[in-house]
Chains A and B, each alone.
Chain A
């Protein structure tokens, strides 16, 4: 899906300007502005070729040696109308076939300059340490035939001086490859050459048809997963994108039948291009929760957990507009920007399998606990997995694990002091259980100041039982409105204030803030375990409800009109000694 192809005429610069809070005109003509600017943005385009135009305009000596080249260069430097005239002359020379041959292939010039240079230039231009971080990055769009999604976004810690020294990795041989191991080799080569740092973030395992998180066999080679694979993957891929426009990826109700909140905004019909239908047995290798558990199994076998990832959300937007809240959803691509009929457009079809416009998910964002708003600090936080995913709301979420958290820590005015002082933050590790102790967790969430109240915080535990089988359990840890669990232990639903007819809700239920310490009641120090927190908002209108009101359209009953937005923290892992 090509941003240019879908009518997106907003470029890299526009994407940065929008993220920083500037008002723009979207491809469809609407004036758009983020109500709250973002702190950082990665624009991940793929590499493409801009021809020799950049060299033509940049005043390379070879070009200046040619009289016509010199003339055009001087016109551009003169600026204003002269620059426009130079561009027109160049266009005219091309259309008449009179372009000076000497300029077409400049001797000794590097000929083609790639879009990569433009991406880097735009990032450098808009990156303002301390105020707004524009990461250099790209997307490696690996799609294994017939269409199994293995996409990764590569993010550089570095500036343009290093990033420009290599080209992004592509997927077509002989230049590129669709195999993640080749991407990792490429990343290693980049670091070896430049001394820079990069990481890769996979997304949409839900469209990989079991290729994203293999359980035993490496699908790329047909060989059993090796210790080398586990180590290399864990090194380069510290994060997984667990929620975005093409479906939420936390868990599937098939995998988590006892989780009443499983099955949120799923895309589970097939692979990326719907060329192959989904089979239930594929699902375990597609969702974050089961992958975290498979990782524990593989760690026992291979010595390294290849799926030891933190979680972020992202928009995967192709509109240059990073819009992830329900009331500002701009759609996947410019052909689907707000119109009265976008909900019913066929989004994708392959034979009998199809997805309709309303199934797009208005999600998500990444929250990062960084010491400052710079490339280095945010990247470092990503590397240590001190990050969390939200499906759009800008909730503030804390999650610490340790052996000694007490109820008083949750009453503190500064719970993070206790969190860092007595434990490890999200993304961290617990080892060596003190005799007789169970892990304790300090978990807290503050609602988005302009979003829905909070319903509850849950802790999701995954572990490998003594027989080596995967297990999971979802614990309600803290909730709003003084609800009392029923005899079956189930917490009553928070309620629903959504008025679909007006696409409004009230914060008369739920809580602004929830905080609690929690001790694992079923801890076995001999068994590997992984814990993460899930925060649920009260029900709020879905983007489809805003569309229905805005355009006065009636949508069929299968279209959801509200939902409970959520956040997923990066996990904390417990590993037994020895």
Chain B
């Protein structure tokens, strides 16, 4: 079975409108602010080309002439309302605009750390974090299940069965009760055992000695006797197998550091004063100018 989740971020079309407006024309404003007079809106050939390109990539065909007119009219409408809105200060203290801009700044910081590492760098990174790039122990096992609740088998019965299984006088494929999760498992990582049977069961099986029927051990389902037939220890994987994961982790680590450094530098340019909250228990003042 595979569990899943769909996480959706960002919706509310009205907000999209505002945010996309802010994003597009925020950049426009910064970059072209000194080119056009305040009351002039220039829809450049480049901008029209960009509008057409986005349309084509969305619809898989170029816009018709009336659609192109509509794209330009919509662009102008956005620009007029965006400018007037900014003039009225509607972008200020707007949590949506602020967060979006902040996300974008963090994204810029990410980009500034986005380079391809060499194999030598990755190998060094793997060597520094062996736990992250080694495989997990893997086990093959058979389990015999006794449900929790009214029909619970008593301890003596379970122990008798365990001895019989070890003596070869009981058959695991008919002993105990069926369990929908299954009874025979081959080459499962310990984390996969935990997904199916819970972490306590997985921790127990991680310590079990292969070869004999052991237990009882409990899971969220009930009680089990377990025979681990094979255990493969965690081992360092060949570099080729971990290269992609190492690159991902290396880049992530680098971006975290870069984002932190960039923020610290920008923050140090501000004098920050945090006022006391009336009635708050203790006074707090933070200054952070260098």
Contacts and interface: CB of A to CB of B under 8 A. Distances in A.
Interface string A204-247: 00000000000000000000000000000000000001000000
Given A57-B114, A365-B5, A139 B198 contact: no
B265 A88 contact: yes
A559 interface: no
A97 B23 contact: no
A482 B99 contact: no
Contact of A50 (B104, B149, B220): B104
Interface string A381-417: 0000000000000101010000000000001111100
A6 B103 CA distance: 12
- Scoring A54, A88, A90 by chain B CB atoms within 10 A of each residue's CB, the highest score goes to A88
Contact of A51 (B27, B96, B148, B197): B27
- Scoring B12, B58, B148 by chain A CB atoms within 10 A of each residue's CB, the highest score goes to B58
Interface in A494-538: 507-508, 510-513, 515
A322 interface: yes
Contacts of B221: 446-447, 449, 512-513
Contact of A128 (B173, B245, B262): B245
B107 A126 contact: no
B95 A172 contact: no
Interface stretch (B14-22, B83-91, B232-240, B271-279): B14-22
Contacts of B283: none
Interface string A28-64: 0000000111111111111011111110110000000
A215 to B, nearest CB: 26
A366 B7 CA distance: 11
A90 to B, nearest CB: 7
B6 A316 contact: yes
B8 A139 contact: yes
B13 A411 contact: no
A487 interface: no
A318 B180 contact: no
A355 to B, nearest CB: 15
B11 A2 contact: yes
Interface stretch (B28-36, B122-130, B207-215): B28-36
A542 B181 CA distance: 27
B229 to A, nearest CB: 18
B3 A398 contact: no
Given A54-B111, A175-B58, A368-B2, A413 B183 contact: yes
A312 interface: yes
- In terms of DSSP, what is the predominant structure of the interface of chain A? loop
Given A87-B108, A174-B70, A312-B4, A7 B149 contact: no
B137 interface: no
Contacts of A168: 58
B173 A175 contact: no
B104 A175 contact: no
A189 B58 CA distance: 9
B24 A49 contact: yes
Interface stretch (A78-86, A421-429, A549-557): A78-86
B59 A189 contact: yes
A139 B9 CA distance: 8
B203 interface: no
Interface stretch (A103-111, A252-260, A261-269): A103-111
Contacts of B46: 105, 111
Contacts of A111: 46, 50, 53
Given A53-B108, A314-B5, A314-B6, A83 B115 contact: yes
A451 to B, nearest CB: 7
Interface string B54-78: 1101111101000100110010000
Given A2-B19, A5-B95, A51-B23, A141 B11 contact: yes
Contacts of A170: 16, 58
B1 interface: yes
A398 B1 CA distance: 10
B7 A48 contact: no
Contacts of A479: none
Contacts of A143: 12-13
Interface of B: 1-13, 15-17, 19-20, 23-24, 27, 30-34, 46, 50, 53-55, 57-61, 63, 67, 70-71, 74, 95-96, 99-100, 102-104, 106-109, 111-115, 147-150, 173, 178-183, 191, 194-199, 201, 219-222, 244-245, 248, 252, 254, 257-258, 261-262, 265-266
Interface of A: 1-9, 11, 13, 15, 17, 19, 35-46, 48-54, 56-57, 76-77, 79-81, 83-84, 86-88, 90-91, 94, 97, 99, 104-105, 110-112, 118, 125-126, 128, 137, 139, 141-143, 151, 153, 165-176, 186, 189-190, 192-193, 201, 241, 312, 314-318, 320-322, 324, 365-370, 373, 378, 394, 396, 398, 411-415, 444-451, 453, 480-482, 507-508, 510-513, 515
6 contacts: A41-B7, A79-B113, A192-B60, A369-B1, A394-B1, A447-B221
Closest 3 CB pairs of A and B: A449-B220, A5-B96, A314-B6
Given A4-B10, A447-B221, A482-B150, 15 more contacts: A4-B99, A35-B199, A45-B9, A45-B10, A49-B24, A57-B112, A139-B9, A174-B63, A193-B60, A321-B7, A366-B5, A415-B180, A449-B197, A449-B201, A449-B221
